[in-house]
Amino acid sequence: MSNRTATIQRATRETRVEAALDLDGTGQASISTRLGFLDHMLTALATHARIDIELECTGDLEVDDHHTIEDCAIVLGAAVLEAIGQKRGIRRFASAYAPLDESLARVVVDISGRPFAGINLDLKRDAIGAVSCENIGHFFSSFAMAARLTLHVDVLRGENDHHRAEAAFKALALALREAVVVDAGCDVIPSTKGLL
């Protein structure tokens, strides 16, 4: 198998993000966004996807959390897209459920080359830690656009917003882990078009 890694940097007037990613890692994470809850979610994503992620972000948190969350999602999505490469032999489609206590999330992913995000988290609080709940859904959408994948995220039940959000990140991790697997001996692009 080829080396499925990527290093991406993004610098704007609002943020500076650097990330390194290994799709075939063991789930090692070194995350620093200066937003504790986002660090927690990205660590869960790396751990359960078994993708090694190093990410450092310095953002304009004196404004709010929006630019930091959006740009981290863009950089991670771009890194996933680059690391997947030509998509030969990948499984492409995957779905996963993840519970966290009373919460249950479902994620369906298609590494399609056609970005779309359908996100239903139904969070009730304004914020979890220093992360605005509206920006959690925005993370998933921005990630899907940058990774050029189709993503459906639905939290099916749950009372605690921390649990609901974390279940969604863990379900994404599990689905992504399955979708990027390269089947042994398969060297075709999984599409009737011959192109993704």
The pLDDT tens digits of the residues spanning 125-155 come to 999 999 999 999 999 999 999 999 999 999 9
Q: How high is the pLDDT of residue 184?
A: 84
The superfamily CATH assigns to domain 5-179 is Imidazole glycerol phosphate dehydratase; domain 1 (3.30.230.40)
Query: Across residues 150-164, what is the average pLDDT?
Result: 98
- Number of neighbouring beta carbons within 10 Å of residue 19: 23
Report residue 190's pLDDT band, with 50, 70 and 90 as the boundaries.
Answer: confident
Report residue 1's pLDDT band, with 50, 70 and 90 as the boundaries.
Answer: very low
Q: Please provide residue 127's backbone torsions phi and psi, each rounded to the nearest 5 degrees.
A: -155, 155
The number of residues in the chain equals: 196
Query: Across residues 100-108, what is the average pLDDT?
Result: 98
Query: Across residues 9-33, what is the average pLDDT?
Result: 98
Average pLDDT of the chain?
96
In the chain, where the domains are located: 5-179
Report residue 2's pLDDT band, with 50, 70 and 90 as the boundaries.
Answer: low
Q: How high is the pLDDT of residue 189?
A: 81
Beta strands across the sheet bearing 116-120: 93-100, 103-110, 150-157, 116-120
